[in-house]
């Protein structure tokens, strides 16, 4: 399976999509229109090691909701990820059994290597 969870209004996601040049078999899912589902999120957690690793603390809502002042548990991270699309680190790139989360240079380069092979 090839799938990319992204935010269409995010210039970083747009840039990374251009770099990846996904083919017509790749499913592009705009998380604002359709957030990630629980089954996929749980699978990603196994790949990333924790829900916290999938959670974006850069999201504006993180501070505005006061989450930065709370001691969040893994269950809290999961709940917020399913509730609010903005908390998912993006893009999330799935290719077979590989998962690449976020826009860190090493993640993008690893995703490009898999996509272009």
Q: Burial letters for 16-49: b for 16+ Cβ neighbours within 10 Å, e otherwise?
A: bbeebebeeebeebbbeeebbeeebbeebbeebe
Q: What is the pLDDT of residues 23-56, one digit of tens each?
A: 999 999 999 999 999 999 999 999 999 999 999 9
Structural domains for the chain: 30-115 (3.40.30.10)
Q: What is the pLDDT of residues 65-101, one digit of tens each?
A: 999 999 999 999 999 999 999 999 999 999 999 999 9
State the helix-helix crossing angle for 74-83 and 38-48, rounded to 10 degrees. 140
CA distance 68 to 66: 5
């Amino acid at each position: 399976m090839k799938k990319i969870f992204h935010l269409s209004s995010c210039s970083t996601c747009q840039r990374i999509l251009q770099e990846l040049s996904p083919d017509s078999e790749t499913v592009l899912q705009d998380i604002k229109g359709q957030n990630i589902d629980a089954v996929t999120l749980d699978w990603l957690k196994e790949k990333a090691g924790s829900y916290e690793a999938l959670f974006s603390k850069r999201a504006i809502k993180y501070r505005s909701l006061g989450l930065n002042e709370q001691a969040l548990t893994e269950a809290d991270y999961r709940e917020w990820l399913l509730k609010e699309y903005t908390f998912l680190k993006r893009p999330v790139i799935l290719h077979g059994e590989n998962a690449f989360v976020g826009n860190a240079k090493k993640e993008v380069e690893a995703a490009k290597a898999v996509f272009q092979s």
